[in-house]
Amino acid sequence: MTNILEIRDLHQYFERGTVNENHALTGINLNLAAGDFVSVIGGNGAGKSTLLNSVAGSLPIDTGHILINNIDVTYQSVEKRAKLIGRVFQDPKMGTAPLLTVEENLALALRRGEWRNFWSSGVKRRDRKLFQERLATLGLGLENRLTTDIGLLSGGQRQAITLLMATLKNPALLLLDEHTAALDPKTSAIVMQLTDQLVNELNLTTLMITHNMADAIKYGNRLIMLDHGKIVVDIAGADKKKLSVTDLLNMFKENSGQEMNDDAVLLS
Amino acid sequence: MAIGVYLTFRILDIADMTAEGSFPLGAAITAHQIVSGTNPIVATLLGFLGGCAAGFVSGFLHTKLKIPALLTGILTLTGLYSVNLFVMGKANVSLVGDFKTVLTLLPITDQTVAAIVIGAIVLVVVIFILVFFFNTEMGLAARAVGDNEQMSLANGISTDNMKMVVYMISNGLIALSGSLMAQINGYADSSMGIGTLVIALAAIIIAEVVIHHVSFGVRLLTIIGGAIIYRFIIAAVLWLGVDPNSLRLFYSLMLAVFLSLPLFQKKIKQRERRHQNVLNNSVRKEDQSND
Ligand SMILES: Nc1ncnc2c1ncn2[C@@H]1O[C@H](COP(=O)(O)OP(=O)(O)OP(=O)(O)O)[C@@H](O)[C@H]1O
Ligand SMILES: [Mg+2]
């Protein structure tokens, strides 16, 4: 079976060679098969975001290799890799261009990884139909607001659209970094539901960082826990289904020797 | 001019000093070509292309060499000063006399009317092309880059290339206006760019203060209105008997005032709302006491 994502011995340092040197990733090895939906958990500063940023290309890589679809992307720029990667950030403002309309944002996502010409119109009539269909599946009434500036929408609405944009072109890999953390519980649940639905429908290979233990258990077929820049737990299939929140907290304690002192965890 | 500046200023969020160099560059190239007997339309287009080249240099310095935008503009501007002298061979070139300019191409003898007609034609064409371009696939990408760079990268847009494209179009248009200015005034001068950026920014800000929230095309039109209002203000200042030598001081002061206007507008609105709030409150109290 071929791997969609292959990470080989990845190290990441911040301020290397100074007194503040921070060895943020200390040798990550990870293979994702097609359709793997992986929850990523770990305490603050464990290196989760650093891992995702390395895969996405927003952090240059010190040592190690990253392959997506068996293509070595270690030294590819973010915009080049974007051809293979769909991404949703924690901050709902980060995934969309506020001064552009809903349809313009979607049109940009529709040409991800392709050459953009300067003669045909950016938002095409046939695309509009597709956008309306996709927006209708959100059940947020956004299909009637194609020409609204995205900046005028709520965080939840923007995040839902970002998710549509990230999956519009069937990316080889979907990266989600606490993409529901900034939303209220109800909206957060809707966006999580939508995520699950899209990932299953399109059979997307996905890495999802979350601080919500219940979500981490409920969604996905595999779970990894990071601590001090290393993968310390990797559970898949039936074993993962049996997990409880208490199990996870215990595992965390065993591995890091401390309680997971995180509001989000305790509340969930 | 103002429209060219608008592109980098609002789409890329950069007040690009290159403008003060590409303006005389367009004038210099066109004047030199016209004196050498080139067709005035070709000469004007060459001026435009010269501006694009200047924009390319600034764009390259800023995006590929990561030099801050302000320094980039100063670098290119300083370099262009020499380039302009080199192009013209001397500090200024006169077009007065028997030379063919875009104005003399028209069957209109009155030079002022001819200038207005040419200006109008060029503006219509430029606005039409810009509105068209910024709604194409690439144009959307260019707008996204200025709006949200992270998102643009995540959607596979090469932000560096898009910035360079905007830099080039922007400075091309600024050079085009320099080129027309030289033909209308009848001379090109290496120092004619000084202070132009402030004037252009003032026109933009006036337009934005007077009318907010409009589509891209309408905004370009309002900028022309802003430039005309600005001219009137300057004319009024001169008419009031202000020493022309202190004019540039006035330009700066005025821009500072215009730039701070949005803040005051907001403050005034907030005060109105607060006032309204207090009123509502007292009305409510009265209602209660009436009960
Ligand atoms: N740009 C940066 N410069 C310097 N250090 C950084 C940078 N980004 C992250 N770090 C450090 O790297 C380590 C890992 O950070 P990272 O953001 O990956 O943690 P995380 O697991 O995502 O945590 P959280 O749950 O709080 O989001 C931390 O010690 C952090 O301080
Ligand atoms: Mg993080």
Q: Say if A165 is an interface residue toward chain B (CB within 8 Å).
A: yes
What one-letter code names the amino acid at B107? P
Chain Cα centroid distance, residue A226: 16
pTM of the complete model = 0.83
Q: Pick from A28, A40, A48 the residue to mutate for probing ligand 1's pocket: most ligand atoms within 8 Å of its CB.
A: A48
Residue B30 lies in a domain: yes
| Residue B30 near residue B43, CB atoms below 8 Å | yes
Residue B244 lies in a domain: no
The answer to whether B137 contacts A96, with C-beta atoms less than 8 Å apart, is no
Q: Which ligand is nearest to the CA of A58?
A: 1
DSSP state for residue B102 in the 8-state scheme? H
Q: Say if B64 is an interface residue toward chain A (CB within 8 Å).
A: no
| Residue B136 near residue B143, CB atoms below 8 Å | no
Cα gap B12→A265, rounded to integer Å: 41
For A78, the closest of B143, B147, B153 (CB atoms) is B153
Residue B47 lies in a domain: yes
* Residue A21: how many other CB atoms lie within 10 Å: 11
User: Which residues from B are below 8 Å from A95, CB to CB?
Assistant: 151, 154
pLDDT of residue A261: 54
Assembly ipTM: 0.85
From first to last of the 268 residues of chain A, give the pLDDT tens digit.
578 899 999 999 998 888 888 888 998 999 999 999 999 998 888 899 999 999 999 998 889 999 999 889 999 999 899 999 999 998 989 999 988 999 999 999 998 888 888 888 888 888 999 999 989 888 888 888 988 899 999 888 999 999 999 999 899 999 999 999 888 888 888 899 999 999 999 999 999 999 888 888 889 899 999 988 889 888 888 888 887 788 888 887 777 666 655 544 444 4
Residue B23 lies in a domain: yes
Spell out the residues 6+ positions from residue B141 whose beta carbon is closer than 8 angstroms to its own. A108, A111, A116, B152, B157, B162
Residue B208 lies in a domain: no
User: Which residues from A are below 8 Å from B138, CB to CB?
Assistant: 116-118
**Chain B residue with minimum CA distance to A92:** B151
| Residue A103 near residue A90, CB atoms below 8 Å | no
Residue B212 lies in a domain: no
Q: Which two tokens stand for residue A195?
A: 């995520």
What are all long-range contacts of B68-74, with beta carbons under 8 Å and residues at least 24 apart?
A: B69/B14, B69/B15, B69/B16, B70/B15, B70/B17, B72/B16, B72/B17, B72/B18, B73/B15, B73/B16, B73/B17, B73/B18, B73/B19, B74/B17
Q: What are phi and psi of B216, to 5 degrees?
A: -55, -50
Q: How many helices (H) and strands (E) does chain B have?
A: 12, 2
Q: B161 lies in which domain range? A: 2-194
What one-letter code names the amino acid at B181? M
Ligand 1: which atom is nearest the Cα of residue A45?
19
**Chain A residue with minimum CA distance to B154:** A82
Is the Cβ atom of A49 under 6 angstroms away from ligand 1?
A: yes
Three-state DSSP at A206 gives strand
Is the Cβ atom of A53 under 6 angstroms away from ligand 1?
A: no
For A117, the closest of B136, B150, B152 (CB atoms) is B136
Residue B184 lies in a domain: yes
Strands in chain B per DSSP E: 92-94, 187-189
Residue B283 lies in a domain: no
Decide which of A202 and B262 is more confident: A202
For B154, the closest of A82, A118, A123 (CB atoms) is A82
- Hey, whose CA ends up nearest to atom 1 of ligand 1? A14
Q: Specify the number of domains making up chain B.
A: 1
How confident is the model over B238-251, as a mean pLDDT?
78
* Residue B154: how many other CB atoms lie within 10 Å: 30
The answer to whether A79 contacts B158, with C-beta atoms less than 8 Å apart, is yes
Query: Which residue has tokens 């996204």?
Result: B144
Q: Say if B137 is an interface residue toward chain A (CB within 8 Å).
A: yes
